[in-house]
Amino acid sequence: MNTTSGMIRFYLNSGGSSLLFTEQKVPAVTKSASDHSFYAVLDLNFILADNVSITASTENAETFIITAEGLDFYY
């Protein structure tokens, strides 16, 4: 999949409110046999409060697969 230059936006959602948390720049890429179209890792390192979720949207009408890893713990 080729990509156009733009942003993926990440939001923190709590109930009915949504807050822009961070953005990831997406470069314009033409996919080839030796290069993947787009790949990024965001190390956020923060504690997500109960009943808060992370959502994402794109600036341009493109499709991406977003995978999140987390840890469940308490003190």
Residue 69 domain-assigned? Answer: no
Q: Is the pLDDT of residue 5 over 80?
A: yes
Domain of residue 53: give its range. Answer: 6-58
1 close to 37: Cβ distance less than 8 angstroms: yes
Residue 33 covered by a domain: yes
Within-domain flag for 19: yes
Q: What total of structural domains would you count in the chain? A: 1
Question: Could you report the per-residue pLDDT of 17-58, keeping only the tens digit for each?
Answer: 899 999 999 888 887 777 777 788 888 888 888 889 999 999
Its pTM stands at 0.80
At residue 75, the pLDDT reads: 67
**Residue 13 DSSP one-character state:** E
1 lies in a domain? no
Do the beta carbons of residue 50 and residue 12 sit within 8 Å? no
Tokens 């948390």 belong to 21
Q: Would you say residue 63 lies in a domain?
A: no
